[in-house]
A and B are shown apart, each in its own frame.
Chain A
Amino acid sequence: MSQTPAVVVRDLHVRFGDVEAVSGVDLVAESGRATALLGRNGAGKSTTMKVLAGVVPPTSGTVTVAGHDAATDALGVKRAVGYCPDVGGLVPRATPWEHLQLSARLRRMGDWEERGRDLLERFELGDVAHRVVGGFSHGMSRRLSVVLAALHEPAVLLLDEPFDGVDPLGVEATLEVVADARARGACVLLSTHLRDLALEACGEAVVLRGGNRVAAMQAADLTGEAYRALLD
């Protein structure tokens, strides 16, 4: 008997006023696999991610995340998901530890401190755990956002541009988080402009253009030429 996919998106439309940010995306992502979301700026990747994270409600279409309907059960979606937003994602006058504390508390995690410390060390943020994040560099903020997304070992891990401005050690740590999530059976969706890193982290790739899905394939099949052709 086949398992229900962790993420199922059918004919997703998202409209902000007169602008249709996503127009008819279909997407299926399985547990234990990592899928790359690729596409140009404005293709609808980040908006799709925000819908999957329960931040933006779908205007129309069906979105199911870990069995929760994003339109009617946003709280259930948020419990199941770990999300690293594309921009910022940190409360400017709180410390990394306070971010972790809040996330763990609201997800009813008991022994989270050991894992929190371990993740901060892996991302080389251990020595700034109690410093307010307002003074962090862009790369440090991105790394902390990945830590926050991974803390509670979510069933669905959504990483939106996690490599943006991150140094090679941070990239390695992020790839490890993706590998760990896959190994424990989580579904990973990773949005990025960096095709090479996407191929390294993910087995499957979905390409969006103008708010639509234009291709879904094995990541290994997405050559540079093929990707370029899909973008135009």
Chain B
Amino acid sequence: MRSSTEPTRAPDGWGDALRDAGHLVAFRARTVRRRGAAAAGAGAVLLLTILSAVGPADVDADGAVGDILDTLVDALSGNVGAALAGTLVLSVVSATSSGGGRELLSRGEASIHPLGPRTEHLGALALAPLNLAWLIQVWGLLAVVALVTPAEARLGAQAVVVAWVLAATALGQVVGWAVEGVRRTPHGVLVVRVAGISLALVAGALHLTGRLRPVVEGLPTTWVAGAMQDDRWPVAALGLVALAVLAVVVGGAPAAWALGLPPREELRVQSGVHEARPLPEPRWGSGDRALLRRLDRGSVWRSVGMRRGLIVLGMGPGLVALLAGLEWGTVLLLPGLAASGAALLFGVNAWCLDGKGMVWRETLPVSARDVFDVRALVVAECMAAVSGVTVVLALLRNGLPPLGTGVAVASCWLVVVVQVLAIVMTWSIRSPFGVDLSSPRATPAPHAAMAGYAGRLSLVTTLTAMLFTALAALPWAWAPAVAALPFLAWSTRRLLRARRRWIAGDERARVVLTVAAV
């Protein structure tokens, strides 16, 4: 028996936390179902990262593609410091909106294990890159730096970028835990909302008064952007790595604080009262579908994570378009990315909205077609809403675009929404998962699958948007609308194929039993 005079080891020291996080990562890795696909996905992410880091420097394009590249470089090359700051903002928003970052084990699974807050903190850090916005931002940053940096300084500059991404991610996590801690205090939700809106208003006011740019240029990121281009890059890189390590260690404190408090917002939602409403009597369509739609919409908007995610995805890219004054050519990229982000909240495993209630839903005497159509509509609504906010905010900033650009924006928006819908409804039936989305830190699929989904959706929608950007430059305003037709036909065909699979009884039973985890 241990003597009371013997020194005791901290129950959740960094060594233990690192080991435990390693065990959890290994456990999750062992539960990956499609190892080949996971390896291919990891390889694709690595390849894209390398291509982003070295590829743009070697591009020598003419014509429309060259113009697009020139526009992108002009818009971003003088703003590397701002882009670095944007990475930090994104890390903060990502960690904050997901309640302190993603979890290696769901709350229910983790409750039986002696996992400390430092393990949770390290787990959230390890999972931060498995995020579409994070990956896009990193690829963008690497590409821009590759474009604007002379060949002899490129390696050092990219080393600084990597160090900055590590530091920004760790700093974002510190802020994420701190905000989550505040959110869990009495009136904390109100405090966080007021603070968030105030920050957005301050940024807006700075922009409108023309002081945003000087403020951004006064940030230390401007020094980092300069240092990475010359022989100061080793100092910058080492300093940033030290900052990252410091932030990782410091982040343990707010993580312990936040995780030691009750999750008030989730508890409030879980015990939320919603008075009875009369049966819907729609002007068109059946009442059955209207009631199913109401239930599905409730499942989305009564979830803390999904509600928060949809608001952030709707406002985030739109505010960037509004404040940064992005050109329409760049704005065209945003609806697809916003729609993909919305789909990643639950659409990639659309049936998980019902959780274990899926079995009960399946006993209801309603046609499988109606159930599929309503669920697809609700997924589409979410994607159209968040991407629509982005387009509307860009309209406010840029005013009405020329006819050709306007047709391209509308066509591209429609195409990417239908495209992503068809893809995610196919995935939802082909690879369903049983998950509990009660925590805002939960994801609708295992992390490896989420990373694959994020990569594929971003690739597809970005390539589509690039095509429409090129079409917008053509002299024929009808060209984007005509080009949209084959995309829409293909996606509709894919959606109908997914619907046919769902209607088949044995396929549906497989999905139902998997999602309900019975």
Contacts and interface: CB of A to CB of B under 8 A. Distances in A.
A binds B: yes
Interface of A: 16, 46, 50, 53-57, 74-75, 78-79, 81, 83, 85-95, 97-99, 101-103, 105-107, 129-132, 134-135, 145, 148
Interface string B333-358: 00000000000000000000111110
B361 interface: yes
Interface residues of B, number: 45
B364 interface: yes
A65 to B, nearest CB: 12
B30 interface: no
Contacts of A131: 271-274
Interface in B312-343: none
9 contacts: A50-B513, A75-B365, A89-B359, A92-B436, A98-B274, A98-B295, A106-B364, A132-B269, A135-B271
Contacts of B516: 85, 87-88
Given A83-B363, A106-B364, A132-B271, A88 B355 contact: yes
B364 A103 contact: yes
Given A89-B357, A105-B287, 9 more contacts: A50-B359, A50-B513, A57-B505, A57-B509, A85-B359, A92-B438, A93-B298, A106-B364, A134-B270
B373 to A, nearest CB: 15
A107 B366 CA distance: 9
Contact of A101 (B291, B354, B363, B512): B291
Contacts of A134: 269-270, 438
Contact of B295 (A55, A56, A85, A102): A102
Nearest to B268: A135
A102 B436 CA distance: 22
Interface in B172-193: none
Contacts of A54: 362-363
B288 interface: yes
Contacts of B271: 131-132, 135
Contact of B364 (A57, A93, A102, A129): A102
Contacts of B275: 130
B284 interface: no
B518 interface: yes
B204 to A, nearest CB: 33
A93 B356 CA distance: 11
Interface of B: 267, 269-276, 279, 287-288, 291-292, 295, 298-299, 302-303, 353-357, 359-367, 436-438, 505-506, 509-510, 512-513, 516-518
Given A130-B276, A135-B271, A91 B505 contact: no
B274 to A, nearest CB: 5
B170 to A, nearest CB: 33
Contacts of B269: 93, 132, 134
Given A55-B359, A92-B355, A101 B279 contact: yes
Nearest to A80: B365
B106 to A, nearest CB: 13
Nearest to A91: B357
Nearest to A83: B363
A90 B516 CA distance: 10
A91 B360 CA distance: 8
Contacts of A103: 364
A61 B267 CA distance: 47
Given A56-B509, A132-B302, A135-B267, A91 B274 contact: no
B299 A93 contact: yes
B512 to A, nearest CB: 6
A62 to B, nearest CB: 16
B130 to A, nearest CB: 24
Nearest to B271: A135
A74 B357 contact: no
A209 B360 CA distance: 26
A91 B295 contact: yes
Contacts of A101: 276, 279, 291
Contact of B288 (A83, A92, A94, A106): A106
Contacts of A74: 505
